[in-house]
Structure 1
Amino acid sequence: MRKVLLAAAAAIAVTPACAQPAVQATAVPGAPKLIVALSIDQFSADLYDEYRPVLLGGIGRLSQGTVFRNGYQSHNATETCPGHSTIMTGSRPSRTGIIANYWYDQSQTRSDKGVYCSEDERVAGSSSTAYSVSPYHLRVPTLGDLLKNAQSGSRNVAVAGKDRSAVMMSGHHADQRWYWDGKTFVTDMTGVVMPRSVAAAKQAVSNAVAQDRPALELPALCQPKATAIPIEGGGAPVGANRFGRKAGDLKNFRASPEFDGATLALAASLIEEMQLGRGASTDVISIGLSGTDVIGHTYGTEGAEMCLQLFSIDRDLGDFFRLLDSKGIDYMVVLTADHGGQDIPERKRLHGTPGAARVDAKLTAKDVGAAVAAQLGLKGPVLYGDGSFGDMYVDRALSPADQARAKAAAIAAFKAHPQVETVFTREQLAAAASPTSPPNEWSLIDKARASFDPERSGDFIVLLKRDVNPVAVTTSYVATHGSPWDYDRRVPILFWRRGMSQNLRNDSIETVDIMPTLAAAIGLAVDQKSIDGECLTGVQGVNCPAR
């Protein structure tokens, strides 16, 4: 799959109708001609630290540049949409408006009060599950947006395994944006003619999915991890799966190393067809690799499955960079993650974390709301919320007095539960100042404040204790993320450009520092007051503006 797709990508001929030569360029002399922004979904700094010595391909190459092993998705809502919204905007969720993957808006006239982060609920028929894809909710511009405004010939492109990854990294003014919809790669952009490269990549994926796949060979370094671990909650054991699948099995295609190979092939094809990085202006391509996240959810982070995935993505990235090298493109890469993740509690206990546990299946907004309704004699859902943690919304159909009673009772119920660390009200968060200290020093309210939006956030927010896995029923997923703890917040941030010397850094930085650093590398002025991040002075070749 990897070799076939990348070979196909390299063979795509440039199509004049798609290639867009730069005009009226204002690029700074010596600036890279292509910014490659890579997000490996759920690639925690813990995984990077564990595997860095043995990843010798593409990740190995990036590890020879400027390496910040203590990067942070510093906010509390460590989910895909908020995380991706920070990478190319320089802003925390409190500024981007992307507080979670889903939130609730009770002013909606539709019966579905949930809102998906990258939908436009104004579109007729859109819902939080069958949604229109749009950057409507993103309140700030991305690097690609700003660059297109500054350099009229610049192109802003995104390719990802998830729509929310592509949308949040490219923003409001993309030239091409493609992402996986469960069956193939699609776009939300109207009036865009499908490039030949995309059609070819889609066909290559279709051909690959139509074939049986035997189990992958297990490298020696992965063999000690190939132990089947029984799990609680109804699911099958995990730990020793090697990604064999039957023809036509799209679900297991997505939960395998093949998925990221397909995404990188599509990105390589678009770079070639659009001649990205070969005009007078700087271009940007954002690439969201989702396989690590799907594998982490499906199998956990410490089994043979993740080991196979990381060796595979390392090889695929090596092929991808060699392809760019062969075209003579002067490119700069940043690699990070939208969030981290924790392993399954059953294996964590075996590895020395005795308190690791699955969340109480009854600790949900629905169940707590029902209990409060019975206690107070109220009708209706009483509480809206997405599971056992995060933002909770009191039912606005209740009278103001009953809303206050329900809120107090629900907060008391959550606080009394032994798996809940704390609860913050919207009033507490609104009164808190945005944190300014290094992200490794933040308190819990600092983390929650960085995810707070007064228009979209709930009436209160629930934080679970460390090592509590929010997945109670394991028939689909066995693990997830979203907590304020460092296994979900800490991510690697790697910068690389040809000629860089290795610089291994232990200082704590934020993903919001990526955009202003890239902007400085290409000479793009950014209003510091409009973002939360700062240009990183430790990246070779980047001259940060005076603060």
Structure 2
Amino acid sequence: MRLLLSLFLGLFLFNCNAQNNITQTKTKTETVLNANPKLVVGIVVDQMRYDYLTRFYSKYGNGGFKRLINEGFNCKNNHYNYVPTYTGPGHASIFTGTSPKNHGIIANYWYDKFSKENVYCAGDSTVLAVGSDSKAERMSPHRMKTTTFADENRLFTQMRGKTIGISIKDRGAILPAGHSANAAYWFRGREEGHFITSTYYMNSLPKWVKDFNASKTAESYLKEWNTLYDIDTYTESGSDLNTFEGGFKGKDNATFPYDLAALKDKNKGFDIIKATPYGNSIVTDFAIEAITAEQLGKDNYTDVLTVSFSSPDYVGHNFGVNSKEVEDTYIRLDKDLERLFNALDKKVGVGAYTLFLTADHGAVDVPAFLQTAKIPSGYFDNDAFKNQLNTFLVKEFSASDLIENISNDQIFLNKNRLKQLDLDIGDVQYAIVNEIINYKHIDKVFSSETMQNANFTSGIKALLQNGYHQKRSGDVLIVKNPAVISYSRKGSTHGSGSNFDTHVPLLFYGNGIKRGSTLTKTEITDIAPTISALLGISFPNAATGNVLEFVLD
């Protein structure tokens, strides 16, 4: 009898424990599935090469870039998987999880084959500016053909999760926030110095934005720009006085210090702030105010804040990769990031938000500087190229009007003229490819037929194909030699498929993110699927990237 009773009690206790374990396991699983961050913050630094993390590392404090590196996950071998590497395509690709081949933002500006005009990636004639009377600020995301992860989060939360986009540049605010954003704000310089938006989002600025604009924060940054630390300690960059930098109108040399108040009238008023580290500072000020005023991360629905720091791009274009100005800009950006992170800790909560930081492209060293180091580089003469090509077309086809447009290293043919002359488009493309491959500074040339009929998986051909949109791209695609640019002899630019343009930082931090690093190659299109997987929401509707499972906790 005792034996039977013991067996009964044993089975009873086993079943209870088993049921309890099942309940605990189920509860634990449900907790993980529902432990979404209160806020996702997507940070893009405009024109940030990966080596800016390592080159200036000793100058950074512990609360900015180093906090993300040491407490988050560092993808050290992160690249763009397409060309052209420009701002518009970069921001769209980060947040849609796909390349221009699908989202359609093939450049900042491009030639529209149907309207026969150049169009801007964020331009929209059907809307008006809000907060400015300027006719140049009519902007929306309507040219972007796909959703962002912010759009998918809005749909998933029945529009309860907010999305706010902020940047100096309109495209840096608009494209990341997506189509369904509550707002996108950008900085209108010139004589105004205000953050504005468009009627795509609202008909009048919220009170907190009006109050920010009225606070004269922009005016406070019209001050002296000098190096944050002793300039002699800036050993990670070249000499301050050199022949490779542009500088500001009204100042003879591109050397520190810069009196912005004195220079503003000759440099488009408040626009001068954009080309200094203070452009990052005012974006940080505005982003912190947005977190408070919009109550981001304060309820049970995940919100999304996108912040694009555009000023490094303006500084890089003006002064070049190797300049003291670029070094100072990143040292000061590190301080602004620390301010932003501290505000997130205080207002949203430590461990309550997820954040990533990346860049929309890198940049090439000034070719004139590279030449002094005997590194192959140079400048492409667009006018000479057009004249040489036109001479060939007249000789070959007895016509001087076969080309409608040449832009973004693409040639657009005049289809109507080809039809009138009974010329086969494939034959003309083939003839141009075989002609211009012989021209100076041109490395490779491909026709649109090649892009459409082949499937490339590696190398520059794959990058071109991922950047090629059948309806929007040109008929012939040109690849220049590495470090050969169509630009002035002073300052830097970008746009190529070379590593200096494609290799950019990718740092994840916060809720749901492991600590660590990897040298495994990742691609910019992997960010949106990874954030979507973390949130448990649908991927952006054309996403082609992969979930970086090793990043997620």
Which category describes the TM-score, using the shorter chain as reference length?
0.7 to 0.9
Change (3 A) 1:27 1:374: farther
SS in 2 for 1:177: strand
Q: Are residues 1:82 and 2:89 paired?
A: yes
- Structure 1 counterpart of 2:60: 55
Equivalent residue for 1:193, pick from 199, 204, 229? 204
Contact 1:160 1:180 (C-alpha < 8 Å) held by counterparts: yes
- Structure 1 counterpart of 2:44: 39
Which whole-Å deviations, capped at 9, do the CAs of 1:290-318 have from their partners, x for residues lacking one?
Answer: 01111111110111000000001000010
- Larger-Rg structure: 2
- Structure 1 counterpart of 2:465: 449
Equivalent residue for 2:516, pick from 498, 503, 511? 503
Equivalent residue for 2:483, pick from 450, 458, 467? 467
* 1:172-191 mapped onto 2 (5 Å cutoff): 172-183=179-190, 184-188=194-198, 189-191=200-202
Contact 2:181 2:201 (C-alpha < 8 Å) held by counterparts: no
Contact 1:38 1:335 (C-alpha < 8 Å) held by counterparts: yes
* Rounded Cα–Cα distance in structure 2 between residues aligned with 1:132 and 1:174: 16
Q: Please state which structure has a larger fraction of its residues in helix.
A: 2
SS in 1 for 2:549: coil
- Structure 1 counterpart of 2:318: 298
- Structure 2 counterpart of 1:120: 124
* Rounded Cα–Cα distance in structure 1 between residues aligned with 2:512 and 2:429: 57
Contact 2:81 2:523 (C-alpha < 8 Å) held by counterparts: yes
Change (3 A) 1:280 1:199: same
Amino acid in structure 2 at the alignment position of 1:537: E
- Structure 2 counterpart of 1:494: 507
Change (3 A) 1:204 1:371: farther
Please identify, of 195-204 and 511-520, the stretch whose mean Cα deviation from structure 2 is larger: 195-204
* Rounded Cα–Cα distance in structure 2 between residues aligned with 1:508 and 1:205: 45
Change (3 A) 1:232 1:470: farther
**Cα distance, 1:52 vs. partner?**
3.1
**Cα distance, 1:182 vs. partner?**
3.5
Contact 2:222 2:273 (C-alpha < 8 Å) held by counterparts: no
* Rounded Cα–Cα distance in structure 2 between residues aligned with 1:107 and 1:489: 31
SS in 1 for 2:76: strand
- Structure 2 counterpart of 1:22: none
* Rounded Cα–Cα distance in structure 1 between residues aligned with 2:529 and 2:486: 34
- Structure 2 counterpart of 1:21: none
Change (3 A) 1:207 1:337: closer
Structure 2 gap segments, 5+ residues each? 1-30, 129-134
Q: Are residues 1:202 and 2:221 paired?
A: no
- Structure 2 counterpart of 1:438: none
Aligned residues: 496
Please identify, of 278-287 and 321-330, the stretch whose mean Cα deviation from structure 2 is larger: 321-330
- Structure 1 counterpart of 2:306: 286
Root mean square deviation, CA, Å: 3.0
Q: Are residues 1:132 and 2:172 paired?
A: no
Which whole-Å deviations, capped at 9, do the CAs of 1:230-272 have from their partners, x for residues lacking one?
Answer: 1499999987444432254434211100001111111111110
Contact 1:240 1:303 (C-alpha < 8 Å) held by counterparts: no
* 1:196-345 mapped onto 2 (5 Å cutoff): 196-204=207-215, 207-208=218-219, 211-213=222-224, 215-219=226-230, 220-222=232-234, 225-231=238-244, 240-247=255-262, 248=264, 249-329=269-349, 330-345=352-367
TM-score (normalizing by structure 2): 0.82
Please identify, of 213-222 and 392-401, the stretch whose mean Cα deviation from structure 2 is larger: 213-222
Structure 1 gap segments, 5+ residues each? 1-25, 436-441, 542-547
Change (3 A) 1:132 1:300: same
- Sequence identity of aligned pairs in percent? 25
**Cα distance, 1:139 vs. partner?**
1.1
TM-score (normalizing by structure 1): 0.83
- Structure 2 counterpart of 1:9: none
Contact 1:302 1:343 (C-alpha < 8 Å) held by counterparts: yes
- Structure 2 counterpart of 1:3: none
